[in-house]
Amino acid sequence: MISPVPSPPIPKGARPSLDGTTTSPLRMRARMILERGGVFWRVFRQSRLGVIGLLILLGFLVVALSAPALAAAGILRDPFLINEDSQGRILNYLGPTESFPLGTDQVGRDLLSRMWFGSQYTLLIGIIASVISMGLGTSVGLLAGYAGGWIDEVLMRVTDFFLVLPTLVLALILAVTLPPPGVVDLWKLIFVIGISLWASTARLVRSQVLTIKERQFVLRAQAIGAGHGRIIARHIFPNAFSLVFAEAILTIAVAILTESFLAFIGLAPADTITWGNILQAALAHDALEQGLVWWVVMPGLLIVGLVYGFTLLGYALDELFNPRLRRR
Amino acid sequence: MALLDVKGLQVHYETRDGLVRAVDGVDFALREGESLGLAGESGCGKTTAALAIMGLLPKNGKIASGSIQYAGYDLAKFSDSQLRGFRWKHISIIFQGAMNALNPVRRVGDQIAEPIILHDKVEKDAAMLRVWDLLELVGIPRERAREYPHEFSGGMRQRVMIAMALACNPKIVIADEPVTALDVMIQAQILELLERLKRELKLSMILISHDLSVMAETCDTMAIMYAGKTVETGSVRDIFKQPNHPYTKDLIAAFPDIEGPPNLPAYIPGLLPSLIEPPPGCRFHTRCKYAWQRCIDEEPPLLPVADGHASACHLNTSEPPNR
């Protein structure tokens, strides 16, 4: 009873190609991504601050990635190694010397190596915490905005609860109370930071979804038989993605700050090297009173620099993607 | 035997101001291979009737009574899941305003492929083969399947919407104001395309428009709606040459005549009545120049006035009192 097919039925396992020959879909896709990337870069390049942020971040990335190679080449020391002189005395509380450019800490570990390797942990914690936070915030926002009604109401009241508590206080409470109590390892730290930061993302995504779901292509998707999951995943989320991406970059900055704060008050795992940890050790052992200025100043500068890089890039992307800030 | 037979359809919207009777007794029939025009002012329930047939009414709207007969089924009684399998395979719709009906961040080809993937359960690669055929069918080079909606002009986007409507070989296509936002040159192209497709694919079509010239060009039969009711149905020829209902007459008179005297066309005084509290009797009596007491007291039924031509007016069954 269906009218005649205007084209022959689709053979099973057939692969399409535009000119009759077989173009590798991978190569086609790669070319497309390059083209679109080029367009994006041309627009992005006009934001000077964004480019500066990107350069700062690339610098930190080079530092983080080069650490193992530099250590293997003997330029950096093992950051956990307790250095001793030829008589077996521990070389602790050293100021900058030729072999220890930034000095050593309270147990005689090389500070330059520790800070160099610390960039790895700091970046890792910031990025993973941001991903957790985005995942949770985006899911809650999508669900609340799309479902509406009592689901929206319940989810948004939960979000409000997380939103009104100051981030640092919340992270502090979670770090102390989550089981196992009193023990903070790397993954618990990341989890705690991620959980403390998702609420504003949920709000942002929800408000976006509320406008997107009223657009006609959502009704069309419903008409062609797409289920709720498909509509959310294929039609609504892609429209909110750019905003979430910009938010993710900004959240990395906040996550790094939160991590530094938690480390600074002694809630970071002792076996991970983060700049917050180094700073905490410096203050706990009266580095300033001993004239060990670089022990205090360097980790602080590094934290500020990295956070600044992410913030600049995040704001530049936000300006590009956020319809309310766009001036094109 | 009609392919689609809508009888006494009533659709109500629950709103804060009260129950809106957006469609309140609509009858029309669509025969196989035919094109039916649904005409009327803005807000008279044309789009609501179309959405009711598709089972796409918004949450606050529901079919209160009436039947939508299609191939022995009553679509008005279908469940959501039944409708989901049914839509697009049997009846598809070209939405009003193609500008907003395409997802701006997805490739045009992917969007046309979506119903094929969902209904025919094929892989995307296989669906793309059909997408290319569909694009060429509506006059778009297949290479453009990779582009995004913003890279298309208004007319091209409307073509994409048409290709999408044809994706699963439906029997019936509902075109809701398919040319309203387009300039006249493009309008002609799109209408011609719809005509050709209807002929080649043996489609039946419901064309919704407020533009009578569009109807005259493309439709075989017409149904004129006023304030949620069908007031006149018949062939295009009957309606334009021998309009029966006063509203139809006024509507045709309101259309500028290229060969007539160069004055402004007539208009119908007054506004479309409220659909929350529609006027009693004939809905049109508030604006009708022939109205008398009976029109307020009694609702005129849709009665045949000639072969295949029906009208709902008391003038056909009684003489107006002399004034």
pLDDT tens-digit map of A77-131: 888 888 888 887 888 877 788 888 888 888 888 888 999 998 999 999 999 999 9
Of all residues in chain B, the one with the smallest CA distance to A216 is: B101
Own/partner contacts of A264-272, CB < 8 Å, gap of 24 or more, are: A265/A172, A267/A172, A267/A175, A267/A176, A267/A184, A267/A189, A268/A184, A268/A189, A269/A184, A269/A185, A269/A186, A269/A189, A272/A121, A272/A186, A272/A189
- A184 within some domain: yes
Q: What are the pLDDT digits (tens) for B165-192?
A: 999 989 999 998 888 878 888 888 888 9
**pLDDT at B99 exceeding the cut of 80:** no
The total number of structural domains that make up chain B:
1
Q: At what angle do helices A111-147 and A48-72 cross, to 10 degrees?
A: 130
Q: What is the mean pLDDT of chain B?
A: 87
CATH code, A285: 1.10.3720.10
Would the CB atoms of A1 and B164 count as touching at under 8 Å?
Answer: no
User: Quick one: pLDDT band at residue A47, thresholds 50, 70, 90?
Assistant: confident
CA gyration radius, chain B: 21
End-to-end Cα spacing for chain B? 44
In 10 A of CB A12, how many CB atoms?
Answer: 8
Overall average pLDDT of the B224-228 stretch? 90
Buried/exposed B136-163: b ≥16 CB within 10 Å, e otherwise: ebbebebebbbebbeebeebbbbbbbbb
Of B11, B7, B10, nearest in space to B27 by CA: B7
Of B119, B146, B169, the CB nearest to A5: B169
CA pair distance B177, B38, nearest whole angstrom: 10
Give the whole-number percent of chain A exceeding pLDDT 70.
90
Which residues sit opposite B221 in a β-bridge?
A: B36, B235
Domain assignment present for A21: no
Q: Structure tokens of B54?
A: 């598709």
Whether residue B146 lies inside any domain: the answer is no
Band of residue B206 on the pLDDT scale cut at 50, 70, 90: very high
Q: What is the pLDDT of residue A17?
A: 53
As a whole number of angstroms, the distance between CA A162 and CA A148 comes to 20
Query: Among A90-99, A271-280, B131-140, B199-208, where is mean pLDDT lowest?
Result: A90-99
- Asked whether the beta carbons of residue B101 and residue A235 sit closer than 8 angstroms, the reply is no
Res A89: pLDDT: 82
Q: What is the mean pLDDT of chain A?
A: 84
Angle between helices A48-72 and A293-321 (to 10 degrees): 130
- Nearest-Cα distance to chain A for B95, in Å, is 8
CB-CB neighbours of B253 under 10 Å: 13
Considering the domain boundaries, does residue A18 fall inside one?
Answer: no
- Distances from the Cα of A240 to the Cα of A133, A148, A211, B66, angstroms: 16, 17, 10, 41
The CA distance from B291 to the nearest CA of chain A, in Å, is 41
A26 interfacial to chain B (CB closer than 8 Å): no
Minimal CA separation from A311 to chain B, in Å: 26
B174 lies within 8 A of chain A by CB: no
Rg (CA), chain A: 25
Contacts of A5 in chain B (CB under 8 A): 169
Cα–Cα distance for residue pair B26/B166, rounded to 1 Å: 27
Yes or no, beta carbons of B84 and A225 under 8 Å apart? yes
Among candidate residues B281, B277, B280, B275, the one with its CA nearest the CA of residue B299 = B281
In 3D, which of B251, B201, B199 has the Cα closest to residue B220?
B199
> Which residue in B has a C-alpha nearest to residue A217's C-alpha?
B101
Q: Between chains, do B118 and A219 touch, taking CB under 8 Å as contact?
A: no
What separation in angstroms does the CA of B295 have from each of A163, B24, B40, B224?
A: 62, 17, 20, 19
| Tokens matching residue B216 | 């005259």
Going by pLDDT thresholds of 50, 70 and 90, the confidence category of residue A181 is confident
Q: Does B95 touch chain A (CB under 8 A)?
A: yes
B73-74 β-sheet, strand order: B18-30, B4-15, B61-70, B73-74
Q: Does B30 map to a domain?
A: yes
The answer to whether residue A3 sits within a structural domain is no
Contacts of A220 in chain B (CB under 8 A): 95, 101-102, 164
* Segment 122-151 of chain B within 8 Å of chain A by CB: 122-123, 125-130, 132-134, 137, 142-143, 146
Task: Look at residue B97 and tell me if it is in a domain.
Answer: no
Q: Contacts of residue A36 in chain B, CB cutoff 8 Å?
A: none
Domain annotation covers residue A9: no
pLDDT at A325 over 70: no
A6 and chain B: CB distance < 8 Å anywhere?
yes
Residues of A with CB below 8 A from B92's CB?
223-224
Yes or no, beta carbons of A3 and B170 under 8 Å apart: yes
Q: Which residue of chain B comes nearest to A19, CA vs CA?
A: B143
The range of the structural domain enclosing residue B182 comes to 4-90+170-246
Phi, psi of A117, deg, nearest 5: -70, -30
Q: How far is A241 from chain B (nearest CA, A)?
A: 10
pLDDT of residue A264: 85
User: Which residue blocks in chain B are alpha helix, DSSP H?
Assistant: 46-54, 80-86, 98-101, 108-120, 124-137, 154-165, 184-201, 212-218, 236-241, 246-253, 293-297
**A7 close to B (CB below 8 A):** yes
CB B178 within 8 A of CB B218: no
Give me the pLDDT at residue B322, please.
66
Domain of A245 in residue numbering reads as 45-77+97-321
In a domain, B268, yes or no: no
Contacts with A2 from chain B: Cβ below 8 Å: 89-90, 169-171
CA atoms of A275 and A141, how far apart (whole Å): 33
In chain A the first and final C-alpha atoms are separated, in Å, by: 52
Separation between Cα atoms, residue A311 and residue A247, nearest integer Å: 10
CATH of the domain at B211: 3.40.50.300
Q: Alpha-carbon distance A69 to A72, whole Å? A: 5
Size (chain A), residues? 328
| CA distances (Å), origin B90, targets A250, B16, B112, B301 | 49, 35, 16, 31
B169/A32 CB distance under 8 A: no
DSSP assignment letter at B283 = G
| Within a domain: A109 | yes
Percentage of the residues of chain B whose pLDDT score is greater than 70: 97
In degrees and rounded to multiples of 5, residue A107 shows phi and psi of -110, 10
Chain A: residue nearest B53 by CA?
A223
Cis peptide before A180 (omega within 30 of 0): yes
Average pLDDT over residues A305-318: 91
Number of separate domains in chain A: 1
A/B interface, count of CB pairs below 8 Å: 110
State the complex-level ipTM: 0.80
